[in-house]
Structure 1
Amino acid sequence: MTTADPVQTGARPVYESAVTQIGSQVEAFLEHGILIFFGAGAPEELHDMSVLHQVTSAEDGPRPGDTITLGDTSLEILAVGSVVRDNLLNLGHLDLKADGRTEAKLPGDVCVAVGPIPRLTPGDAFTITRSQET
Protein backbone atom coordinates (compact mmCIF):
# COMPACT_ATOMS: atom_id res chain seq x y z
CA MET A 1 0.00 0.00 0.00
CA THR A 2 1.25 3.46 -0.84
CA THR A 3 0.06 7.02 -0.70
CA ALA A 4 2.01 8.11 -3.78
CA ASP A 5 0.17 10.41 -6.14
CA PRO A 6 -0.34 8.45 -9.40
CA VAL A 7 -0.46 11.68 -11.43
CA GLN A 8 3.05 12.60 -10.28
CA THR A 9 4.35 9.17 -11.35
CA GLY A 10 3.36 9.63 -15.02
CA ALA A 11 0.04 7.78 -14.81
CA ARG A 12 -3.23 8.73 -16.46
CA PRO A 13 -6.73 8.07 -15.12
CA VAL A 14 -8.80 5.44 -16.94
CA TYR A 15 -11.69 5.48 -14.45
CA GLU A 16 -12.76 8.25 -12.09
CA SER A 17 -15.57 8.28 -9.62
CA ALA A 18 -16.69 9.75 -6.31
CA VAL A 19 -18.09 7.81 -3.35
CA THR A 20 -21.70 8.77 -2.64
CA GLN A 21 -22.78 6.30 0.06
CA ILE A 22 -21.33 3.61 2.37
CA GLY A 23 -23.54 0.62 3.15
CA SER A 24 -24.08 -0.52 6.74
CA GLN A 25 -22.38 -3.91 6.11
CA VAL A 26 -19.26 -2.53 4.39
CA GLU A 27 -17.27 -2.54 7.64
CA ALA A 28 -17.88 -6.29 8.10
CA PHE A 29 -16.57 -6.99 4.59
CA LEU A 30 -13.52 -4.77 5.18
CA GLU A 31 -12.57 -6.95 8.16
CA HIS A 32 -12.18 -9.79 5.63
CA GLY A 33 -10.19 -7.71 3.13
CA ILE A 34 -13.09 -7.15 0.72
CA LEU A 35 -14.62 -3.94 -0.58
CA ILE A 36 -17.58 -4.07 -2.98
CA PHE A 37 -18.43 -1.16 -5.28
CA PHE A 38 -21.61 -0.50 -7.23
CA GLY A 39 -22.69 2.47 -9.29
CA ALA A 40 -25.17 4.88 -7.72
CA GLY A 41 -28.05 3.31 -9.68
CA ALA A 42 -27.59 -0.16 -8.12
CA PRO A 43 -30.69 -1.99 -6.86
CA GLU A 44 -31.64 -1.16 -3.27
CA GLU A 45 -30.88 -4.69 -2.04
CA LEU A 46 -27.16 -4.13 -2.84
CA HIS A 47 -26.80 -0.83 -0.98
CA ASP A 48 -26.09 -2.28 2.50
CA MET A 49 -23.07 -4.30 1.36
CA SER A 50 -21.62 -1.78 -1.07
CA VAL A 51 -19.77 1.44 -1.53
CA LEU A 52 -21.95 3.37 -3.97
CA HIS A 53 -20.26 5.80 -6.31
CA GLN A 54 -20.98 8.22 -9.14
CA VAL A 55 -18.79 7.87 -12.21
CA THR A 56 -17.28 11.02 -13.68
CA SER A 57 -15.07 9.40 -16.35
CA ALA A 58 -14.93 5.79 -17.58
CA GLU A 59 -12.41 5.10 -20.33
CA ASP A 60 -11.46 1.53 -19.36
CA GLY A 61 -11.47 -1.03 -16.58
CA PRO A 62 -8.48 -2.07 -14.48
CA ARG A 63 -5.51 -4.17 -15.61
CA PRO A 64 -2.75 -5.76 -13.56
CA GLY A 65 -0.14 -3.08 -12.86
CA ASP A 66 -2.71 -0.28 -12.71
CA THR A 67 -3.20 1.69 -9.50
CA ILE A 68 -6.51 1.93 -7.68
CA THR A 69 -6.79 4.99 -5.46
CA LEU A 70 -9.32 5.03 -2.65
CA GLY A 71 -9.40 8.42 -0.97
CA ASP A 72 -5.75 9.12 -0.08
CA THR A 73 -4.55 5.51 -0.44
CA SER A 74 -3.15 3.98 -3.64
CA LEU A 75 -2.86 0.23 -4.19
CA GLU A 76 -1.25 -1.66 -7.07
CA ILE A 77 -3.62 -4.02 -8.86
CA LEU A 78 -2.11 -7.51 -9.01
CA ALA A 79 -4.86 -9.47 -10.81
CA VAL A 80 -8.15 -8.80 -12.59
CA GLY A 81 -10.92 -11.31 -13.30
CA SER A 82 -12.37 -11.83 -16.76
CA VAL A 83 -15.66 -9.92 -16.22
CA VAL A 84 -14.31 -6.97 -14.22
CA ARG A 85 -14.02 -4.51 -17.12
CA ASP A 86 -17.59 -5.07 -18.32
CA ASN A 87 -19.01 -5.07 -14.79
CA LEU A 88 -17.26 -1.82 -13.90
CA LEU A 89 -18.08 0.03 -17.11
CA ASN A 90 -21.71 -1.16 -17.27
CA LEU A 91 -22.72 -1.40 -13.59
CA GLY A 92 -20.02 0.44 -11.66
CA HIS A 93 -19.41 -2.94 -9.99
CA LEU A 94 -16.04 -4.09 -8.68
CA ASP A 95 -15.04 -6.57 -5.95
CA LEU A 96 -11.73 -5.42 -4.45
CA LYS A 97 -9.91 -8.14 -2.49
CA ALA A 98 -6.73 -7.65 -0.47
CA ASP A 99 -5.69 -11.27 -0.93
CA GLY A 100 -2.31 -10.86 -2.67
CA ARG A 101 -3.33 -13.12 -5.57
CA THR A 102 -1.64 -12.70 -8.93
CA GLU A 103 -4.48 -14.62 -10.60
CA ALA A 104 -8.06 -13.75 -9.74
CA LYS A 105 -9.94 -16.58 -8.01
CA LEU A 106 -13.34 -15.39 -9.30
CA PRO A 107 -14.19 -13.65 -12.60
CA GLY A 108 -15.26 -10.44 -10.80
CA ASP A 109 -12.24 -10.11 -8.51
CA VAL A 110 -9.69 -7.28 -8.49
CA CYS A 111 -6.77 -8.36 -6.31
CA VAL A 112 -4.33 -6.15 -4.41
CA ALA A 113 -1.64 -6.92 -1.81
CA VAL A 114 -2.63 -8.37 1.54
CA GLY A 115 -3.21 -5.52 3.95
CA PRO A 116 -5.85 -3.10 5.15
CA ILE A 117 -8.24 -1.54 2.68
CA PRO A 118 -9.02 2.06 3.61
CA ARG A 119 -12.37 3.07 5.02
CA LEU A 120 -14.09 5.46 2.67
CA THR A 121 -16.51 8.29 3.27
CA PRO A 122 -18.90 10.03 0.90
CA GLY A 123 -16.98 12.45 -1.30
CA ASP A 124 -13.80 10.35 -1.40
CA ALA A 125 -12.30 9.67 -4.83
CA PHE A 126 -12.29 6.18 -6.36
CA THR A 127 -9.95 6.18 -9.36
CA ILE A 128 -7.96 3.76 -11.49
CA THR A 129 -4.80 5.04 -13.14
CA ARG A 130 -2.51 3.46 -15.70
CA SER A 131 1.17 4.02 -16.28
CA GLN A 132 1.97 5.80 -19.54
CA GLU A 133 4.16 2.82 -20.50
CA THR A 134 1.27 0.31 -20.55
Structure 2
Amino acid sequence: MTASGATVVYESEVTQVGGQVEAFLGHGLLIFFGAQSPVELHDMSVLHKATLEDDGPRAGDLLQVGSTELEVLAVGPVVRDNLLNLGHLDLKADGRTEPNLPGDVCVRVGDLPLLRVGDHFRITRPGNSREQHT
Protein backbone atom coordinates (compact mmCIF):
# COMPACT_ATOMS: atom_id res chain seq x y z
CA MET A 1 0.00 0.00 0.00
CA THR A 2 1.19 3.53 -0.75
CA ALA A 3 0.98 6.62 1.46
CA SER A 4 -2.25 7.65 -0.33
CA GLY A 5 -3.92 4.35 0.57
CA ALA A 6 -3.56 3.00 -2.96
CA THR A 7 -2.39 -0.58 -3.47
CA VAL A 8 0.41 -1.47 -5.88
CA VAL A 9 -0.85 -4.45 -7.92
CA TYR A 10 1.96 -4.69 -10.48
CA GLU A 11 5.52 -3.41 -10.60
CA SER A 12 8.44 -4.03 -12.90
CA GLU A 13 11.78 -2.60 -13.93
CA VAL A 14 12.74 -1.75 -17.52
CA THR A 15 15.59 -4.00 -18.72
CA GLN A 16 15.81 -2.93 -22.38
CA VAL A 17 14.28 -0.33 -24.73
CA GLY A 18 14.01 -1.31 -28.38
CA GLY A 19 15.29 0.90 -31.16
CA GLN A 20 11.80 1.47 -32.64
CA VAL A 21 10.08 2.38 -29.37
CA GLU A 22 10.51 6.12 -29.90
CA ALA A 23 8.85 5.92 -33.34
CA PHE A 24 5.80 4.18 -31.81
CA LEU A 25 5.58 6.90 -29.13
CA GLY A 26 4.88 9.39 -31.93
CA HIS A 27 1.70 7.40 -32.62
CA GLY A 28 0.64 7.29 -28.95
CA LEU A 29 1.69 3.67 -28.43
CA LEU A 30 4.02 2.10 -25.89
CA ILE A 31 4.43 -1.68 -26.06
CA PHE A 32 5.70 -3.71 -23.11
CA PHE A 33 6.88 -7.31 -23.12
CA GLY A 34 8.52 -9.49 -20.52
CA ALA A 35 12.22 -10.13 -21.01
CA GLN A 36 11.44 -13.69 -22.14
CA SER A 37 9.57 -12.45 -25.25
CA PRO A 38 10.63 -13.54 -28.76
CA VAL A 39 13.66 -11.66 -30.11
CA GLU A 40 11.59 -10.42 -33.09
CA LEU A 41 9.58 -8.22 -30.70
CA HIS A 42 12.51 -6.64 -28.85
CA ASP A 43 13.12 -3.78 -31.30
CA MET A 44 9.58 -2.39 -30.94
CA SER A 45 9.13 -3.05 -27.22
CA VAL A 46 10.07 -1.97 -23.75
CA LEU A 47 11.32 -5.13 -22.07
CA HIS A 48 10.80 -5.40 -18.34
CA LYS A 49 11.14 -7.77 -15.42
CA ALA A 50 8.27 -7.91 -12.93
CA THR A 51 8.96 -7.68 -9.22
CA LEU A 52 5.26 -7.77 -8.19
CA GLU A 53 2.49 -9.46 -10.20
CA ASP A 54 -0.76 -9.41 -8.22
CA ASP A 55 -3.13 -8.12 -10.91
CA GLY A 56 -3.43 -6.28 -14.21
CA PRO A 57 -4.84 -2.79 -14.73
CA ARG A 58 -8.48 -1.75 -14.41
CA ALA A 59 -10.20 1.47 -15.41
CA GLY A 60 -9.49 4.03 -12.68
CA ASP A 61 -6.08 2.60 -11.79
CA LEU A 62 -2.97 4.75 -12.09
CA LEU A 63 -0.01 3.74 -14.24
CA GLN A 64 3.38 5.10 -13.33
CA VAL A 65 5.54 4.86 -16.43
CA GLY A 66 8.96 6.19 -15.51
CA SER A 67 8.19 9.57 -13.92
CA THR A 68 4.84 9.97 -15.72
CA GLU A 69 1.56 9.08 -14.03
CA LEU A 70 -1.47 8.22 -16.17
CA GLU A 71 -5.04 7.27 -15.27
CA VAL A 72 -6.35 4.13 -16.96
CA LEU A 73 -9.52 4.97 -18.90
CA ALA A 74 -10.27 1.57 -20.45
CA VAL A 75 -8.87 -1.97 -20.45
CA GLY A 76 -9.46 -4.73 -23.00
CA PRO A 77 -10.57 -8.20 -21.88
CA VAL A 78 -7.24 -9.99 -22.50
CA VAL A 79 -4.96 -7.38 -20.89
CA ARG A 80 -4.75 -8.98 -17.43
CA ASP A 81 -3.82 -12.43 -18.75
CA ASN A 82 -1.37 -10.99 -21.28
CA LEU A 83 0.40 -8.93 -18.63
CA LEU A 84 0.55 -11.63 -15.96
CA ASN A 85 1.53 -14.44 -18.36
CA LEU A 86 3.70 -12.66 -20.95
CA GLY A 87 4.54 -9.29 -19.45
CA HIS A 88 2.72 -7.86 -22.49
CA LEU A 89 0.75 -4.62 -22.47
CA ASP A 90 -0.19 -2.18 -25.25
CA LEU A 91 -0.48 1.29 -23.75
CA LYS A 92 -2.39 3.66 -26.03
CA ALA A 93 -2.69 7.40 -25.44
CA ASP A 94 -5.94 7.62 -27.39
CA GLY A 95 -8.37 8.93 -24.75
CA ARG A 96 -10.82 6.08 -25.39
CA THR A 97 -13.19 4.95 -22.65
CA GLU A 98 -13.88 1.70 -24.52
CA PRO A 99 -10.85 -0.22 -25.86
CA ASN A 100 -10.61 -0.60 -29.63
CA LEU A 101 -8.76 -3.94 -29.38
CA PRO A 102 -8.91 -6.67 -26.69
CA GLY A 103 -5.32 -6.00 -25.59
CA ASP A 104 -5.54 -2.20 -25.32
CA VAL A 105 -4.96 -0.16 -22.18
CA CYS A 106 -6.23 3.34 -22.92
CA VAL A 107 -5.07 6.55 -21.25
CA ARG A 108 -5.58 10.25 -22.01
CA VAL A 109 -4.39 11.68 -25.29
CA GLY A 110 -0.90 13.06 -24.83
CA ASP A 111 2.77 12.27 -24.92
CA LEU A 112 3.98 8.96 -23.54
CA PRO A 113 7.47 8.93 -22.02
CA LEU A 114 10.55 7.41 -23.60
CA LEU A 115 11.71 5.01 -20.91
CA ARG A 116 15.27 4.07 -20.00
CA VAL A 117 16.79 0.94 -18.54
CA GLY A 118 16.20 1.03 -14.79
CA ASP A 119 12.93 2.99 -15.00
CA HIS A 120 9.90 1.47 -13.31
CA PHE A 121 6.45 0.54 -14.57
CA ARG A 122 3.86 0.36 -11.79
CA ILE A 123 0.10 -0.08 -11.52
CA THR A 124 -1.61 1.30 -8.42
CA ARG A 125 -5.24 0.87 -7.46
CA PRO A 126 -7.03 3.60 -5.48
CA GLY A 127 -7.72 2.69 -1.85
CA ASN A 128 -11.49 2.67 -2.27
CA SER A 129 -11.36 -0.17 -4.83
CA ARG A 130 -11.39 -3.36 -2.77
CA GLU A 131 -13.14 -5.73 -5.19
CA GLN A 132 -11.23 -8.78 -6.36
CA HIS A 133 -10.76 -9.74 -10.01
CA THR A 134 -13.04 -12.60 -11.00
Task: Please give the TM-score of this superposition, normalised by the length of structure 2.
Answer: 0.94
Structure 2 CA distance for aligned equivalents of residues 61 and 25 of structure 1: 25
Paired residue total: 129
Sequence identity (%): 67
| 1:19 maps onto 2:22 in alignment | no
| 1:82 maps onto 2:77 in alignment | yes
Name stretches of at least 5 consecutive residues in structure 2 with no aligned partner: 130-134
Structure 2 CA distance for aligned equivalents of residues 68 and 8 of structure 1: 16
Structure 2 CA distance for aligned equivalents of residues 132 and 9 of structure 1: 8
Q: Flag as ranges the 4+ runs of structure 1 deviating above 6 A.
A: none
8 Å CA contact 2:19, 2:44 repeated in 1 = yes
Partner SS, residue 86 of structure 1: helix
Tell me the CA shift for residue 71 of structure 1: 1.1
Deviation larger for 8-17 or 52-61: 8-17
Residue 123 (structure 1) aligns with = 118
8 Å CA contact 2:92, 2:104 repeated in 1 = yes
Residue 44 (structure 1) aligns with = 39
8 Å CA contact 2:79, 2:105 repeated in 1 = yes
Give me the CA root mean square deviation: 1.0
Residue 30 (structure 2) aligns with = 35
